[in-house]
Structure 1
């Protein structure tokens, strides 16, 4: 059994051609990417590292890590976004980036302890078994390496902000982008990480100001949040 939801893959596949349009449904990803890239690169300088981006979609983060000097591999199970990512890399002339259609669990069996850093951003809330993804990410990173996750908290505030606000009021995302029941509390994600043998390093919240239409990193993990982990050396 592949740890993926066919409806989720189809949903993002249908939007694939708009992935690199900064004014499309993917505008929030384009806006937050510089923030999360800077946070990752600040903790784990990417230049010269071998990095893996799990659930890469159209490759926004993967491409930007390669442009920071990393040797980047992006993986996903949705065919159309991967083709968009490959086409963008060709058109933009991005060096040191590659993409594969493979499940993270399958890649973990094929290439354990192969990457200096693994990122899995905005993906855990879209899969049936997020703990399996966390375990695979832990297996893929080298001892001493970094693993970064981002997802959505599960509480009333996140429901109001991330679903009601973002999808129905501000229409920043297509209605139905997220399923509240799949959101993960930070304590749940931290437990998955510890069970996978990772050590938690730090966490960051991601806030949005609807007046300025700008995102910022902060310490509030009530809605969108990221965590950094390390595999013990």
Structure 2
């Protein structure tokens, strides 16, 4: 088996916060606030009802549960025991059924290749040592003709100012140290990794936060947070 494509410090960091995952006023408030925007964008491009879906790096299950509510059969995978326990417990409380597994994306791709209509991997690529390996695993998990969605952070001065200085230090929306700027990924780099994995990139969308109105919006500005939609050719 290959070396695990994960940073133990990153897993530990999110594990320590796991009990706060479903608190909408906690460090995960931004995830709660952007989730409806992401969910609708995914659902518009790949209607979720009746689909087999996997959320890679699912954490406490915010996106996974919301996709299940849209009628999808959802699997969530992560490497944090604590986050997965929180996700399981919340599913019991909410009555929303999601299958959670502690498994690496690459191992899941070997075990269940070509089994999913939709693969999502949000805010994870910038937390792993080898993002290209995760992208290849996602490409392997999706069925021919299926959809793959990624979100990450651009690497430029504005992204550093907004996502690190602004969000972590000035506005204190996120815990200090949440992001490592060196691991941010430009759209050109992500596009190349997507092509190398055999996927076709169809759309890219920016996600912006207005600190004055405290409102997130989807737009064409990919300079900080951005999402991409891809398909696996038939």
What TM-score do you get using the length of structure 1 for normalisation? 0.99
| CA deviation profile, 1:135-165 (whole Å, cap 9, x unmatched) | 0000000000000000000000000000000
Equivalent residues in 2 for 1:48-67, closer than 5 Å: 48-67=50-69
**1:154 maps onto 2:155 in alignment:** yes
Counterpart of 1:89 in structure 2 is 91
Report the count of equivalent residues: 232
Specify the SS of the correspondent of 1:145.
Answer: strand
Counterpart of 1:105 in structure 2 is 106
> Which of residues 3, 15, 18 is equivalent to 1:16?
18
Specify the SS of the correspondent of 2:74.
Answer: strand
For residues 29 and 214 of structure 2, the distance between their equivalents in structure 1, rounded to whole angstroms, comes to 11
**1:69 maps onto 2:99 in alignment:** no
Residue 229 of structure 1, CA deviation: 0.3
Counterpart of 2:37 in structure 1 is 35
| CA deviation profile, 1:46-84 (whole Å, cap 9, x unmatched) | 000000000000000000000000000000001100000
Residue 186 of structure 1, CA deviation: 0.4
| CA deviation profile, 1:11-31 (whole Å, cap 9, x unmatched) | 000000000000000000000
Equivalent residues in 2 for 1:139-218, closer than 5 Å: 139-218=140-219
- The RMSD of aligned alpha carbons is 0.4
Residue 174 of structure 1, CA deviation: 0.4
For residues 122 and 79 of structure 2, the distance between their equivalents in structure 1, rounded to whole angstroms, comes to 15
Unmatched runs of 5 consecutive residues or more in structure 1: none
Unmatched runs of 5 consecutive residues or more in structure 2: none
Counterpart of 1:44 in structure 2 is 46
For residues 188 and 31 of structure 1, the distance between their equivalents in structure 2, rounded to whole angstroms, comes to 27
What TM-score do you get using the length of structure 2 for normalisation? 0.99
Specify the SS of the correspondent of 1:148.
Answer: strand
For residues 220 and 209 of structure 1, the distance between their equivalents in structure 2, rounded to whole angstroms, comes to 13
Residue 227 of structure 1, CA deviation: 0.2
Residue 4 of structure 1, CA deviation: 0.3
For residues 26 and 111 of structure 1, the distance between their equivalents in structure 2, rounded to whole angstroms, comes to 30
For residues 198 and 183 of structure 2, the distance between their equivalents in structure 1, rounded to whole angstroms, comes to 23
| CA deviation profile, 1:178-201 (whole Å, cap 9, x unmatched) | 000000000100100000000001
Specify the SS of the correspondent of 2:179.
Answer: coil
Counterpart of 1:3 in structure 2 is 5
Counterpart of 1:138 in structure 2 is 139
